[in-house]
Amino acid sequence: MMDLTWYLLGALSCAIVYGLYELSQKQRLNWLDWTGLILGAVLILFAIAWSVGAVLEGVPRAGSMGMLLFGLPGIVLTTLSLRFILARKEKVS
Amino acid sequence: MNEHDMKDEQNDTPEKSTTNESRRNFLKLGAAGAGLAAAAAGGVTVLKRMEGLPLDHFPLPINDEYVRIDQRNQINTYSFSKKLNDDHPERTKKFHDWNFYEKKKGFFIGPYRDKAAGQGQLDRALGAAGFFSPVSQLGYKSTGMDSLNAGVASWEQTMLAKEKYKFASPEEATLCIKSAARLFGAVRCGITPRDERWDYNPLYDAATDEVLTWEKDFPFKPRSVIVVMVDMDYDAIATAPAWTTDGATGDGYGKAIKLAGQLAVFIRQLGYQAVASMNDLGMNVPYAVAAGLGEAARNGAVITPHYGPRVRVAKIYTDFDFVEYAKPRDFGVASFCKNCKRCADSCPSKAITLGDPSWGPEYSTDPDYIWQASKGVFKFHNDAKLCFKFWIENDGSCAACIASCPYNKPDFWHHRLVDAQNVIAPGPVHSFMREMDILFGYGKVSDPERVTKFWKSGAKI
Ligand code: SF4
Ligand code: SF4
Q: Closest ligand 2 atom, CA of B408?
A: 6
Banded model confidence at residue A3, pLDDT cuts 50, 70, 90: very high
Q: Which residues of B touch A65 (CB under 8 A)?
A: 439-441
Position A77 pLDDT exceeds 70: yes
Question: Is residue A20 situated within a structural domain?
Answer: yes
Question: Is residue A66 situated within a structural domain?
Answer: yes
pLDDT for the residue numbered B10: 43
Cβ within 8 Å of B, A 5-44: 28, 30
The pLDDT tens digits for A7-44 are: 999 999 999 999 999 999 998 999 999 999 999 999 99
Please state the ipTM of this predicted complex: 0.90
State which residues of chain B have pLDDT below 50: 1-12
Show the CA angle centred on residue A36, arms to residues A34 and A42, nearest 5°: 95
The pLDDT tens digits for B113-135 are: 999 999 999 999 999 999 999 99
| CB contact (8 A) between residue B5 and residue A28 | yes
pLDDT for the residue numbered B44: 78
Q: What is the CA radius of gyration of chain B?
A: 26
Report the alpha-carbon distance of residue B287 to residue B303 in Å, rounded. 13
How many beta carbons lie within 10 A of that of residue B199, not counting itself? Answer: 23
For residue A81, the enclosing domain spans 2-88
Question: Is residue A17 situated within a structural domain?
Answer: yes
Q: Which residues of A touch B408 (CB under 8 A)?
A: none
Helices (H), B119-273: 121-137, 170-183, 234-237, 244-269
User: Which bound ligand lies closest to the C-alpha atom of B297?
Assistant: 2
DSSP 8-state secondary structure symbol assigned to residue B59: S
Per-residue three-class SS string for B272-317: CCEEEECCCCECHHHHHHHCCCCEECCCCCEEECCCECCEEEEEEE
Which residue minimizes the CA distance to atom 7 of ligand 2?
Answer: B337
Q: What is the CA radius of gyration of chain A?
A: 15
Report the alpha-carbon distance of residue B145 to residue B135 in Å, rounded. 7
The number of domains in chain A is 1
Helices (H), B144-243: 170-183, 234-237
Q: In the A/B pair of chains, how many CB contacts fall below 8 A?
A: 34
Banded model confidence at residue A92, pLDDT cuts 50, 70, 90: confident
Q: Which residues of A touch B8 (CB under 8 A)?
A: none
Q: Closest ligand 2 atom, CA of B298?
A: 5
Question: Is residue A93 situated within a structural domain?
Answer: no
Q: With contact defined as beta carbons under 8 Å apart, do B339 and B431 qualify?
A: yes
Q: With contact defined as beta carbons under 8 Å apart, do B120 and B113 qualify?
A: yes
The pLDDT tens digits for B72-97 are: 999 999 999 999 999 999 999 999 99
Q: With contact defined as beta carbons under 8 Å apart, do B319 and B325 qualify?
A: no
